Amino acid sequence: MKKWLPFFVPFLLSACVTTAEPESENINVLWGDALEMTDCEDKGVVVGSQGHWYDFWLIGDGVLTEGAVNQLRNKALKRGADTILLYSPKPFSTSVTFLAKAYICHP
């Protein structure tokens, strides 16, 4: 059993990918220019990130990306936002990270 332990340790250390809270599914995710958001109330910056140096090879890029966006939506929901405006993704080789601004655009 001890010879198999190094094989199973990454599975034990890997975190689950973030799932969207049901209410956060309604949050609009936009790419674009902040000038489009002039009629919206700024609720601050949110960061969504998935993947670690020890488990990135176990999880596909699409799943990591979805988890990062779900994390953004969940954080925006906690701020009372209904829209997030994504900035360019940060280039990491072992994770997916997005930086976004949260807004309330629809009262």
Model-level pTM?
A: 0.74
Residue with tokens 């209410």: 23
Ramachandran region, residue 21 (left: φ > 0; alpha: ψ -120 to 50; beta: rest)? beta
pLDDT at 12: 47
Q: Using one digit for the tens of pLDDT, what is the confidence trace for 42-69?
A: 999 999 988 877 776 677 777 888 888 9
Q: Using one digit for the tens of pLDDT, what is the confidence trace for 16-45?
A: 677 778 788 888 888 877 777 888 999 999
Q: What are phi and psi of 62, to 5 degrees?
A: -60, -40
Rg from Cα positions in the chain: 16
What is the C-alpha separation between 82 and 59, in angstroms, rounded? Answer: 29
